[in-house]
Amino acid sequence: MSWKELPKAELHLHLEGAAPPEFIRSLAKQKKVDIGRIFDERGNYAYADFAEFLKVYEAATSVLTTPEDYARLTRVVLEQCAEHGVIYAETFLSPDFCGGGDVKAWWEYCAAIAEVAEEAETDLGITLKGIITCIRHFGPEKAKAPALCAAESAGDFITGFGMAGAETVGKPGDYAWAFDCAREAGLRLTCHAGEWGGPEMVRATLDQLEGIERIGHGVAAYHDGALMERLARDGVTLEVCPGSNIALGVFSQWENHPIEKLRENGIAVTVSTDDPPFFHTTMTREYEKLDEVFGWDEGDFRALNEDAMAAAFCDEATREDILKRLKA
């Protein structure tokens, strides 16, 4: 069995960030919107650093303006995921981009995405769940609307809440209202931290936001032995995206990535693509590089996917079904 064919679970995938550049270019052309500046001469997304990446990401997202746009995007993304063996995925969705934070508008976007997800489960064999995110660099006040949207739409499809964006903006506790709102609605919680903010940001996130079960990225934890012990002891899962980290310069090369050290310290890690076309990666490529650089074999990857499903924000029936398929 090739790594492409191996069944996989992916927990850290931004829906807009997974939009192929050709999809965004086509949509921009249809709407007569000029965003040519965000592409290089080969047609790929063009950015120099993380700050510019965020600007390019938001410019690309600006042409996704209707529920129908998001439905089309969801289908394209799920087809690509399924092509690389993904049978369970969780995707980050932001009502800031889907209806401007208005609850009524968000329902229309959410329904369109969920309908495509249901169809894909039948004809592509992939299960999708949604995690609503607020955008950290939009500020604490702007985080309240996505949290209210999350609380209103919590259910079978929307199962979690988190925070993405520039983690160096503000303190995690500044966003406590949004996380409390989502948690009280029964949603499970994750938060980006420890990509750029250092181990202290991971610790602050766990200390200041109640109920965090997973950390998006979290790779800076490897600098802090006590923090690694805490993550392992408390069962906090890290949503690690190695290819993303290399592309953005968090680490200079795969050989320097700490994913193996984090595993060796008893921390549950998962592997995801984050924003795959931006980072020229796929789940197959992530697995190939982990095999090439760290010698991971089929047993390692099966354990990795079992850890992902243990941490997945889904109901128990879905978890059991996916676990059976991962072991088949």
CA distance 200 to 275: 25
Strand-pair category, 269-271 with 237-240? parallel
Beta strands in the chain (DSSP E): 8-14, 86-93, 127-135, 158-164, 188-193, 212-217, 237-240, 269-271
CA torsion sign for 14, 15, 20, 23 is negative
Report the distance separating Cα 96 and Cα 138, nearest Å.
9
Report CA-CA distances (Å) from 167 to 70, 163, 250, 272, 287.
26, 9, 14, 19, 27
Task: Enter the tokens of residue 251.
Answer: 């680490």
Tell the residue number behind the tokens 């087809």, with chain if given: 79
33's tokens: 């919107």
Active-site residue, 195 included: yes
Q: In terms of DSSP bridges, do strands 86-93 and 8-14 run parallel, antiparallel, or are they unpaired?
A: parallel
Neighbours of 178 (CB within 10 A): 27
C-alpha 246/C-alpha 251 separation (Å) is 5
Q: Which residue has the tokens 């988190």?
A: 162
State the catalytic residue, choosing from 195, 286, 288, 292.
195
Q: What angle do CA 145, 312, 288 make, to 5 degrees?
A: 115
CA pair distance 144, 175, nearest whole angstrom = 8
Q: What amino acid positions are annotated as catalytic residues?
A: 195
